[in-house]
Structure formats: C-alpha cells, structure tokens
Structure 1
Amino acid sequence: MIGRALGVLTTEGDSVLPRGYVANPETFDFPIITEKVEGAHMDRLWARDSSIEPALIVAAERLVKRGAVAVASDCGLFSWHQPAVAAAVDVPVILSSLLLLPLLLRQASRAAKIGLLSVSLPSPYDDAALGIENSADRSRVVFGGCEGAYEQSVKTRKPAEVTISEKMAGLEADVIAGATRLRASHPDIANILLTCTAFPCVAPALRKKIGLPVYGITDLCRLTMGALH
C-alpha cells in the first residue's frame, strides 16, 4: 500500500503522456496509483454508455483499498459518473476539471466569460455535466474545440507512428489554435478551463501564448491533495 496517494482511474488502451499528464507519476510531488476501468474504451465514453459505471465504481473502490486518499481520472468524459463514484467511496472524488467551473465563474467579473476547451466541437458536456443551474452563469460559459490530428488519436486511441515529442508538438499546436479561435470569438474570456486530461501537458505554453489563467485537472488534483496533507 502507498500512503496518501492520489488514485487515478484510467481508460482502456491508454498511453502515458509526459509530465503534466494526470496519470504520469512525474507530474506531482505526491505519489499516484492507477486502476484501469474494465471496458472503458473511448467510443463508449463518447457515447455516454452508462453500463461502464459499475466497473468504474469497482475500480475506484480498489484504489481506496490500495491507499488512495482521493480519486481522479485520466479522462474528462468520466464526469458523467461523478455522483455515482462519489457516493460509493469515502474519499474526495475529482473525475473532471469541470468541478472547478463554479469557482472560476465567481473568481471573475460577472461580465466575463469562462472558456471551456475540449477535444472537439460540439462540446460533449451538457448542462448536467457542467453542474450549473443558474441561467446567468450558464450564459457565461463558452466552448472551444481543438480539432486536429490529436482529436483523432483521442477518439480512436489507435497507436500513432510518431514519437512522444512529435505527439506533444501536435497537441500543443492544436490546443493553442483552439484557444486562439475561442478567444477571437469571445474576447471577454477571463480564463480557460481545459476539459481534456492531456491538455495540461501543454498548459505552460498555452498560458504564455494567450496571457490568460489556464486551469485543468492537475490543478484540481493539487488543490485536493494539498487539503489532505
């Protein structure tokens, strides 16, 4: 058992990305342990297949038994199962960066918008996933996509015949292009929330390029683990 570790639920067929990725042990200054969710293939997640929920709960329970003091995930599409997993284990559950959205809405002026950057448009997240009931708050949330080569690799999870450095260069280009388009459409954006768990790998470059605060799942993990230590 690893003491005071962050547990990370992972999808089937996942590949570990460089530092900055939630399932990479080098990303944090605390230990992580991972547990693969049986049957959690990307096509099922995009289709919001509810039948994977029992396996998700089982994997979360295993993480807690192994010493996890909080449970995160390596795919934002697990967000639809946040209530069920949170009800099943007695540790904080943070399956998606979307949990930061209420904080970001109140952090900024009511005249400002929050940009949600996803793998592609239309956004896969509905109002229930966003967790926002106030219509005024909902109107401040705008969506952007990062359509490109990385989008296809995420949706198919097929091994690409490229090096990690080449893959990250492509990811950085796609994310920066997506954020640039989003900001051009909505100049009143105050900050950007990354919904894909791979995007924090290139968050430093994105912050430098657009000059806005950028948040993602790794920030939520650090916040949660900091409160537990």
Structure 2
Amino acid sequence: MNKAKIGILMLETQFHRPIGDIGNKDTFSFPIAYKIVKGASISRVVKEGNRDLIEPFVQAAKEFEREGMKAITTSCGFLALYQKDIQQQLNIPFYSSSLLQIPIASITAGGPVGVITASKSSLKPAHFEGVHAEQHHVIVKGMDEMQAFSGTIIREEIALDEAAVKAEMKKATAEFVAAHPEIKAIILECTNMPPYKKVIQEVTDLPIFDSTTLVNYIHSTI
C-alpha cells in the first residue's frame, strides 16, 4: 500500500464530511494523512482568527514533517491568515487555504474572481494578504444567512442535511453570478463546499477552484 505524502491539519469539528470534503479520505485517489489540531474550533479559527492557535498548528505540522510528509494543507480556508507564520517554521511546502489559488485564477481567467465563503463577515483583507492575493480583484459571497449550511458548518448546532445544503449552495451561486456577471472564475473558500460542486456547475460555466483542486495539484508536484 502506498504511503501518504500529504498531511491535512484538521479543525476540531463534529459534523459529517461526505465524499468531496477534504476531511473524507475517499475524496482522493491517493493516500492522505490526517491530524486534528486540538483547540482549533470553528469559532476560534473563523470568527476570532485567534493567533494563539499558530503554535498548535506549527507543532502538528512539524509532527507531519517527522512522519515523512512531503506537503501539508488544512481543512479550513480561513487559515490563510496564518500562511506565513506556519510556513516559515517548516521545511516542506505548506498550503494553508484554497485562497492560494486566487492569483492563478485571476491571471488565467483574465478578470475578477468570485470567492464563496462560509462567512463573509469573518473574511477580512488580512486573509487575502496572507496568501498574497490582495492585489487581485476579488468579489465575496458569504453563506452566513444560509441556515442549513451555517447551522451545520459554522455554528455546529444541527446535523448535516446534504439536500438542504446542496440547494443553498446552488441558490447562492446563481444569485452571485447573476449579480456579478463580471466574475471570470470562482473559488470555494470552505473545504466543506466541494461535495456540492456539481450543483454549482448547473448554474455556472465558470472555472471553479477549491480545496480538492488544490490537493490534487499538490499531489502532482510531489
């Protein structure tokens, strides 16, 4: 059996992760190693951007290094905020977030990039600066008001209703591209969104970048 070369640092969450989610090993056609970062709750990472979490992430990443991983990524796009802080303490590539794909999406598509995020209210300029994307034209759509998505992924108050989240993702995307026809590509910030990519593609022909496109790219480099 092939040994995992990519390590994924996971937040402490309780919700189900269907195939397509970065936290489901069956999402990928190659082995993946997982490590939960203790204390890294949705609230502390997404809502607070708590810098006290940098050290636990660094220590978990160094464990992956010692275990022979060739690259590391994470289960939350908001960790873009810590890209430099974590990377500078490692000797292997660290890919904090799907937002790292903003420059390539913007340059190759030749126009504004639409980012669909779990929480627009929490996604700050510092997150884009963390992955050197601040110079690119980005338009943001949040899932903050989508009850099935937010209730499960952000507040962790309800069990995942895949059909309801699928409908919300489709609705949000349709509204987004209708309101902003200038968008040339879409990036899904949240690693819990890729399971719904097919329904997103039903309402737009735009190229879609997400955590799975990032991980597959990483795998092709090692």
Q: TM-score, normalised by structure 2?
A: 0.90
What displacement does 1:120 show? 3.1
d(CA) in 2 for partners of 1:132, 1:70: 21
What displacement does 1:178 show? 1.5
Farther-moved stretch of structure 1 (120-129 vs 8-17): 120-129
1:11/1:75 contact within 8 Å kept: yes
Q: List structure 1 segments (4+ residues) > 3 angstroms apart after TM superposition.
A: none
Pick aligned residue for 2:142 from 122, 127, 145:
145
2:7/2:71 contact within 8 Å kept: yes
CA 1:74–1:154 in structure 2 vs 1: closer, same or farther (change >3 Å)? same
Q: Report the counterpart of residue 121 of structure 1 in structure 2.
A: 120
1:6/1:30 contact within 8 Å kept: no
Q: Return 5+ residue gaps in structure 1 as ranges.
A: none
Residues 1-229 of structure 1 aligned to structure 2 (within 5 Å): 3-45=3-45, 46-109=47-110, 112-122=111-121, 124-126=123-125, 127-129=128-130, 131-134=132-135, 137=136, 140-146=137-143, 147-148=145-146, 149-158=148-157, 160-161=158-159, 167-228=161-222
2:9/2:37 contact within 8 Å kept: yes
SS of equivalent residue, structure 1 residue 88? coil
- Aligned alpha-carbon RMSD (Å): 1.9
d(CA) in 2 for partners of 1:90, 1:210: 39
Farther-moved stretch of structure 1 (213-222 vs 141-150): 141-150
Number of aligned residues? 217
Farther-moved stretch of structure 1 (21-30 vs 147-156): 147-156
Identity %: 24
**Per-residue CA distance 1:163-194 (angstroms, 9 max, x = gap):** x5xx2212211211211121121111111100
What displacement does 1:121 show? 2.7
CA 1:198–1:221 in structure 2 vs 1: closer, same or farther (change >3 Å)? same
